[in-house]
Copies of this chain bind each other. A is one copy, B any other.
Amino acid sequence: MKIQLITIGNELLNGKIQDRNAYWLARFCHEHDLDLIKNDIIPDNEYAFMKAFKGAWQDADLVVTSGGLGPTKDDLTKGMLARFFDKNLVESKQALEVTKKNYAKSKREYNPELQYSKIPEGFTAVYNKAGYAPGLFYQENRKMAAALPGVPVEFKTMFMEEILKKLKESFPKSSHIKKHVIVKTWRAPEAKIFNSLCPGLWEDLERFGEVSSLPNPLGVDIGVSITASDQPELEMREQSVRDAVLNSALKDFIWHIGKESLEEVIVKKALEKNMTLGFAESCTGGLCASRITDIPGSSRVFAGSVVAYSNRVKEKILNVNASTLEKYGAVSSETAWEMAQGARSVLEADLVVTTTGVAGPGGGSAEKPVGTVGVGYSSQRDCAGNLHHFPEMDREDLKRIFSQIALITLLEQVELY
């Protein structure tokens, strides 16, 4: 079942907003054994639509469009679809019923001037549980097209509750099952892993399925797509992938095998160990805490964070010695260490990780250039501070990398706890 998504809207190409439907659909398709083969992001104009739709209609079993179904001047999708399929716009009883149902749920009245009941001949209207404009659906032999609104909650709900049903009717279940096994590593760059550390690993893993490698500034995610005819076979294959990497030199560089994010793994393991976590953050400015609190249920393990941006707050709340700040500077392993000690005490957490660094663009020095970060941790078991250097890059990226190394430090310490 090949799906192609066409995302429509000038606001996505001039940077006013970031599209979220493609990422959601990608995850949804992956979980439901559907194959998202392409996503086109195009502006609100007919030339772009016709070209993209033509290409998609050739390659995909289902073409989904997102956006352009509302009541304003720049909502062009319905007319363009009618012209693509050479259909007239006609009054549809079914579309009127769906539209009235869309409005009835919140006791608002449908204004017929919006012409939601006029749709291309041969199309059906799709109920919109979360909004007012109906979607559109069309089938021609084994090919299907669905036009959905761009508002994420509407797009998501309609795809899950309406379109998926139609797909299941047309496409019987595949006889094999799939799983994507992800081996998450850090501290070794991609070229080192596959060239010197484990030169035969890629070929080794290819015996179990398609291999992919996704580098990030601190490590590499290695993926293997395995297929099997039943669950026991799938599990056996997954175990073989695990054995292959855990028996290789990569072993010491793996922090997780699975699709969970670093934040999810931390929260899950801390829950298992019944421990509480905290941060004291200078250069990451709350980003570490924000990432952990993105995870539902994090409140059961997360005590809090002291975002100590000024030295005064470092001294006052975290009890960092003025002499330490003066002698070693705010960006130092010594300060990171003292912040950790102070934060663990004031947050009453079992484990605390701290960051203090130079995210730039100003504030760097010859000794502590932009990209320098001190990371500390403190638990009843152990306490330390380390200084790391990253190449100079922009502030947001450095904050992200600084938070990444803090979270990896946190995970290591949770595991050792």
Contacts and interface: CB of A to CB of B under 8 A. Distances in A.
A172 interface: no
Contacts of A309: 289, 293, 298-299, 302-305
B42 A41 contact: no
Interface in A283-334: 283-290, 292-294, 296-299, 302-310, 312-313, 316-317
Given A38-B41, A55-B55, A73 B202 contact: yes
A63 B121 CA distance: 38
A409 to B, nearest CB: 17
B307 A313 contact: no
A132 B191 contact: yes
B15 A30 contact: yes
Given A15-B28, A214-B16, A286-B289, A22 B41 contact: yes
A246 to B, nearest CB: 21
Size class of the A contact interface (CB-based, 8 Å) = 35 or more
Q: Is the interface of A mostly helix, strand, loop or mixed?
A: mixed
A129 to B, nearest CB: 8
A190 B14 CA distance: 20
Nearest to A395: B296
A26 B14 contact: yes
Interface stretch (A152-160, A233-241, A266-274): A152-160
A14 B41 contact: no
A12 interface: yes
Contacts of A364: none
B312 A317 contact: no
Nearest to A292: B285
A276 B311 CA distance: 13
A202 B71 CA distance: 12
A49 B308 CA distance: 48
Contacts of A232: none
B130 A393 contact: yes
Nearest to A277: B309
Given A14-B29, A41-B41, A304-B306, 8 more contacts: A11-B214, A16-B182, A37-B48, A55-B55, A130-B391, A130-B393, A289-B309, A317-B346
